[in-house]
Structure 1
Amino acid sequence: MTEDTKAVAAAFDGLSHGYAASFIDNELAADARRRAHMVYARSFHAPALIADVGCGPGQDSVWLARHGFQVLAVDCSPSMIAMARQAVDQAGVGSAVITWQGDGFAPGRLPEIAGQLLDGVLLGFGPLNFVSDLEQALRNIRAAMRPGGVAVVSALSSRCAWDLMWHLATGRGIAPRWHRSPQTVRISDVDCPISYWSARQLIHAANRFFHLLNVTAVGSIAPPPYADPLMDRLPTARRTLCRWDERLQQTRLAAAIADMLWLELRAR
């Protein structure tokens, strides 16, 4: 692993104890994951072999396995991959999932572990934010895939309107993601490199290796999950914002101001 990857692994080891629990009863997070699953269902076709890179505690790996896919669940954090294996076993889908602790962006490692080129790759809920060279990361992902395979990639965007308003309203000044990337953030007492990407940057980096199929924006109208405790006081407003967020999710305006961007890509 690179030194940056080791830092990310240590940071998420520190987060792992309460990471999955922090999203329980979070309606905004649940809505974001529901819509992510709609993207997966549209993009991937069972019984394909899918690598879930940055799988975290394994929610998406379990979802894929339950829907008939063969899954390679990958995370650089030993604690996260242990949680993923536990989630897979508890869900009764262990025969469909291989778990591997390591750097999923390392050249050649995914097909080596899987024993073949992949039908698809999932980079769900932001692992691309922890790479400094976006084009190289996507080049390595493409090299692990068969021609015509589909990658679903996501990233926290560099221009989230809600994030800016939240930081200004709470007296924190300009939101960090509005500053130039890469940056260093403190996670679990570990300094981690992080980069926020615009839709244009993601599309440009992917264009040499993939055909763009679709862009879905989440969190342009609805606030990010960290605002859910506040929105608990306004449940009707939360439902309305989520409904409009979904209706507008494939517009250019939504992609310009969303919290998270999802790209569906077909390997050249």
Structure 2
Amino acid sequence: MSAALDLAIEGIGLCAPGLPDWTVAAAALRGTGHHVDEPAAAIPKVTLLSPNEQRRAPQSVLLAAAAAEQACRMAGRAPCELPNVFASSYGDLAINDYLCAVLARAPRELSPTKFHNSVHNAPAGYWTIAAGCTASSTALSAGRATFAAGLLETATIACAEATPVLCVAVDVAASGPLAGMIDCDAAFAVALVLAPPAGAHARRLRLQLRDGDAAQLAPLPAALHALRERNPAAVGLPLLAALARREPATFDFALHDDKDLPPSTLHLEIAF
């Protein structure tokens, strides 16, 4: 068991088809609103991105940037000042499918813009350039444990450097042959601004590493439970549900699924 990391949750953002922002998502998570999956739903405008960037950016970037902008606005923090962690299990699967198909069929027809957007840290790159952010930026992946790994990295930076940090988790649906191999068929992005606690902040989060298997997560409304199973970035929905309901709660998230290693868990406690 490790020492605990104590943080304040200053800002929350969420963007997914049918869940354009935290206000709508919070109502659905409390059971006072409904989540209707709308794959063709428009992504909210990201004010930090210029019209040209908004047009060129792939879905993964737009979702991540929209969620990040919401979280920064709620926190009252300038995006240009925040170190940031962008976590994605798979990157942009639609672009990966495009690249594989074009390289197999007609390599010379490959779009330079598509190639530029295919790198795993594309959301972090778009964000830092648009925000004019020169603080540290991290892009990471840890399979199904990516959401937990992103939270742990964010909390470590926030506590070690005594500074607020932006955490974003995003994944988008697989397409083409990849859709038959990868367990992700929905788009989802969530963002949190975590900071060292100061004063009587309304939302507190304690993180601690523990040995052993993760305990079962709390149930969700049926539609949101399905979404959690369809996107690795959405595994944190039970945590978000507790935040929406303002309910103290505890959660366990597995930090890996390697059967050859002893199980390890990120244990979270929320207080208000």
TM-score (normalised: structure 1): 0.30
Identify the structure with bigger relative contact order (alpha carbons < 8 Å, sequence gap 6+): 2
Whose helix fraction is larger, Structure 1's or Structure 2's?
A: 1
